Structure 1
């Protein structure tokens, strides 16, 4: 899905291997998708992630930020 948004950088973290990340991000279930903009969280989806809603939210945020 992110291939449609080339200016978004993605990172994947295995909370089982980097246990501090769960507390830092307050992510106590998996999977978690968190989108940050200028150090501020602007989107979070967890556990059961509705794909179409995620797609719509990403599009709205991307177009708003990058004026596409």
Structure 2
């Protein structure tokens, strides 16, 4: 799924993607309440803003990320 996520995020250059294997870092699974894989979690200002797990529909994911991104980065100048 990582290649699909990276491809989807090319339209949003301010978003940085990171990957973690919770089987190698089980503490992370507990800390983020991850019970299945894959899980895509989007954070903004240190807070979780979006979570998609197990069956991720990339077009829906991309659409929601785009709405968040537009509101966050494309604010009109005052």
The TM-score with structure 1 as length reference comes to: 0.94
The answer on 1:49 being equivalent to 2:59 is no
SS in 2 for 1:35: strand
Whose RCO is larger (CA < 8 A, sep 6+)?
A: 2
Match of 2:35 in 1: 28
- Return 5+ residue gaps in structure 1 as ranges: none
Larger Rg: 2
Instruction: Measure the CA separation in 2 of the matches of 1:15 and 1:30.
Output: 9
**Matched ranges for 1:1-68 at <5 A:** 1-67=8-74
Deviating above 2 A after TM superposition, structure 1's stretches of 4 or more consecutive aligned residues are none
TM-score by length of structure 2 reads 0.83
Q: How many residues align?
A: 68
